[in-house]
Structure 1
């Protein structure tokens, strides 16, 4: 009785399945063969809608409405495609490449992070396995409980470009180079583009190492200087050097990454982490990004 009751629940009305236009973009990017000889894929669109329902509502897998079929099949597809890179490399990255080819990708990039509370059911995953970060599954422990931090870069139109996960207590600045390394957009000719025109970030990213990293790559830096760093430079007098350049007008665009985070957290299964493994939760982030990029 549980399945039919939940399928009629009002929360189902909050779910936004793939549109025909989105499916037209995604279908050519998906695997066309079953993983085992003689096997048959369940319809990709149906499975993607099932996975999206789970993350958009934050419900348990066992409560997946009957119209989507077996929850185990949907979960296995999600997990297997997370492990083999289908979600990130084959679909998400390809959508970025299409947008870049159409000149619809704004290379004024903002970087930030957001802490996500992890439900108690997210703990207890196996320490070994094929999933990335399988040792601790990027769960941090503090007085507030279990948390995961999502580091991301967003383009100038509030769309995600790259994700990196760390335990919740990790700092923002140490993960910056990992976020920049994850930013990779293939092109029809030549090497993938990995270098934005401009990078915007808040005071948490104000460090000499980050500024030097961006300058070496000839990327414009728009990061404000905290009061303590400014006072330290002034105390050193002429030995403190010139203050870093800072464009206040351009910095006003940094809200794009915050608005991107808000779009992602409209999916309840991303605003709170229920998944035990980091790979599956990261796949949920990429799926939300796929919905955003395919709807342009």
Structure 2
């Protein structure tokens, strides 16, 4: 067994969850070898063609990763592992939210049939009345034709932004991607709504954290209203300009947001979760042309984190 390969205990957890049939009705062989190849590529970032021969044909490994990224197999594997951890009481539901920008390698450009990357515009998107601040949609998961394949042009070049929520043990609970120039605040609600940890027994999946922490980038009246409506305790610092504007409006500005200075000290868990994700070189630099394949690579890294932390 090579460094980073599935251990026997990890394989016993994943084997019953894997699909049996291939595209033509036959049985897939060597799931374990293929998964080890995907793990190796996510960890090292090597081109698919340069995978060591001990994993078998690189074409098989790439095609299976591409298929499982598209049909939600990686999502299902991650959900089952998260459900087992939650049933054992090992999930800390003090959730933190943040984002990180990833540079896109030149090999990530030029996806066939993809529209040109979204160009950053001053002031962001606007509605018909010319008002700014409209929510920027996250890139969907699936086939081609996505909005710029979640590759945005900014001062640093082409980039993709990873938005995620993390539990108190520095493990990602939900992940979505957008072009690199998209703002953080419009993705706050989609990130929280993407949290879905199934129950091993009867009952609905758990979607509501005990509390949420975030930085000033997520401070907005819409986000706070959303959290209050879902009865989620939260700690989001209020920027100085928003605080001054609220005071200037008097009673019409609403009540002070309230701020617990102790709880934000735990918000570094999401920074540490991002650090763990970026230890996988295929996540720290985007090499995948298609957005759904790159998201699948992020899910592979997340799955490894949940299996081993």
**TM-score scaled by structure 1?**
0.91
Query: Which whole-Å CA distance do the structure 1 matches of 2:226 and 2:255 have between them?
Result: 18
User: In structure 2, what is the equivalent of residue 197 of structure 1?
Assistant: 210
Shift in alpha-carbon separation, 1:28–1:71, aligned structure 2, 3 A:
same
Q: Which residue of 1 aligns with 2:64?
A: 77
Pairing of 1:121-160 with structure 2 (within 5 A): 121-127=107-113, 130-131=142-143, 134-160=146-172
Match of 1:212 in 2: 225
Residues 150 and 163 in structure 1, CA contact (< 8 A), matched pair in contact too: yes
- Alpha carbons of structure 1 residues 132 and 150: separation in structure 2 relative to 1, 3 Å: farther
Task: Tell me, yes or no, if structure 1 residue 178 matches structure 2 residue 166.
Answer: no
Moved more, 131-140 or 187-196: 131-140
2 CA distance for matches of 1:290 and 1:251?
Answer: 27
Question: For 1:159-191, what per-residue CA distance to the aligned partner results, in whole angstroms no more than 9, with x for missing partners?
Answer: 010001000000000111111121111112121
Write 1 or 2 for the structure with the bigger share of helix. 1
- Is residue 2:301 matched to residue 1:288? yes
Q: Deviations over 1:82-127 (max 9, x none)?
A: 1111001x20111111111111111110000000000011011123
**Where do 5+ consecutive residues of structure 1 fail to align?**
1-12
Question: Is 1:275 aligned to 2:288, yes or no?
Answer: yes
Offset of residue 237 of structure 1: 3.1
Q: Is the 8 A contact 2:74 2:300 kept in 1?
A: yes
Secondary structure at the residue paired with 1:183? Answer: coil
Question: Could you tell me how far apart the structure 1 residues matched to 2:6 and 2:260 are?
Answer: 40
Q: Could you list the structure 1 runs, at least 4 aligned residues long, displaced by more than 6 angstroms after superposition.
A: none
Task: Summarize the Cα distance change of 1:266–1:50 in structure 2 as closer, same or farther, 3 Å threshold.
Answer: same
Match of 1:169 in 2: 181
| Equivalent position SS for 2:212 | strand
Counterparts in 2 of 1:15 and 1:135: CA distance versus 1, 3 Å = farther
| 1:229 aligned partner | 242
Deviation at 1:262, TM superposition (A): 0.1
RMSD: 1.8
Pairing partner for 1:244 from 235, 257, 271? 257
Match for residue 10 of structure 1? none
